[in-house]
Structure 1
């Protein structure tokens, strides 16, 4: 099964990759955002049903999670840097 999205074709392999990249709880959030049942969201990722809204919401959640992860890494790096700089030098 293929999904057409903005003149692009998304095959089942790409759907599975997209699904695997979703953060925990994302399918429930996609259902809430799109107003669909969770079963419908699952059917989209199984290639049984088409919904550009589900794909768009999934991409947005992945981008948001990626940005959040980057911010966490920066915070950890800055905290470690500050800690190391606070250590007494011999």
Structure 2
């Protein structure tokens, strides 16, 4: 985890200042270093948001038997959750009636 944090810090840190470029053998100065305050482009591309993917549509293949099983399981879980919430509401109502609220 420490390694991941250090890597993240290195990626988010600004690049170090560019070192002075030596003159070319013919005595000319490279074009990028000619202007005052100009810097080299960063070694990595700028951060940009990911390209949104197209929403998945219903698949073209026929549903598998396991799909029906999971659908029934989700439905039964929803029914059980609703029943549990009703039972909890009834017990809370009894408690609050006993307390006098």
Shared fold (TM-score, shorter chain, > 0.5): no
TM-score (normalised: structure 2)? 0.39
TM-score (normalised: structure 1)? 0.44
| Greater share of residues in helix | 1
| Greater share of residues in strand | 1
